[in-house]
Amino acid sequence: MPRTVHIIGNGDSAVLYHEEPRKGLKLTCNLPPFAVPDAYATCMVDFKMMHTINTGVIDVPGEWILGARPKLYMEKHPIYYTKRAPQIKQFYTKLPKYAANYTDFNCGHMATYFSLEHLKAEVIHMYGFDSIFDFNLRSSTDFYITSDRGNMNNNRLTNNWRPLFNSMFKDFKDTKINLHHFHSLLKFDVPPNVEVHSYKKRGEIVDAGKQSGSIKTVDLRD
């Protein structure tokens, strides 16, 4: 079996992870929208997440993979670091050459890059990455972290985030990337190693393959 990683994001389509049994290593982002048994770790990159955990608003179980900003937060809050050190699987602070800064490099980016660069994944499945497909930055983290979801900010974030994902897909051209969503209408052209699995109805899966330009799609519906 190829080295397979499932990345569960925080968008609405994260629920598609449940559509069938998923074999392989599981990575989650921030506090996942549902329990993921036997997850390898959850990835976090923001000061806000650290502060929200440190102040007791939420708790994130399991082991953590932390980016550069959580590492800095830990250095400034040694008591918090001591308390949480047993959960820290590792600090992962690598920034790919196509990311201008850590602010533009979100949790989904980090989980994807970690899977590609560090875990050497041969196959990746991504769920809950709605901004790749739609003008939709809703996240399950919005329930406990205040975020600016105004149109101007959404547009800025979307324009920064999408090129980063596509650069990763192109950079690791030998890794098969599977995107799971409610439709297959991507907002940008992707390389041949990317396949879209679209689900018209939750809970019903029928295999049916088709090609759409350079994008491989699998339409999972009646």
* β-bridge mates for residue 216, sequence order: 195, 211
* β-bridge mates for residue 28, sequence order: 8, 42
Q: Provide the pairing of β-strand 4-8 with 209-212.
A: unpaired
The pLDDT score that the predictor gives to residue 217 is: 40
The pLDDT score that the predictor gives to residue 149 is: 54
The pLDDT score that the predictor gives to residue 174 is: 97
The pLDDT score that the predictor gives to residue 12 is: 87
The pLDDT score that the predictor gives to residue 131 is: 83
Number of domains in the chain: 1
Residue 108 CA from chain centroid, whole number: 3
- The range of the structural domain enclosing residue 107 comes to 4-220
Is the pTM here over 0.95, yes or no?
Answer: no
Instruction: Give the torsion sign (CA, 35, 94, 137, 134).
Output: negative
CB 26 within 8 A of CB 136: no
SS3 content of the chain, % helix, strand, coil (to 5): 35, 20, 45
Tokens of 137: 């930055």
Ranges of residues in the chain whose predicted pLDDT is under 70: 135-158, 201-222
Closest CA to 87 of 39, 37, 143, 23: 39
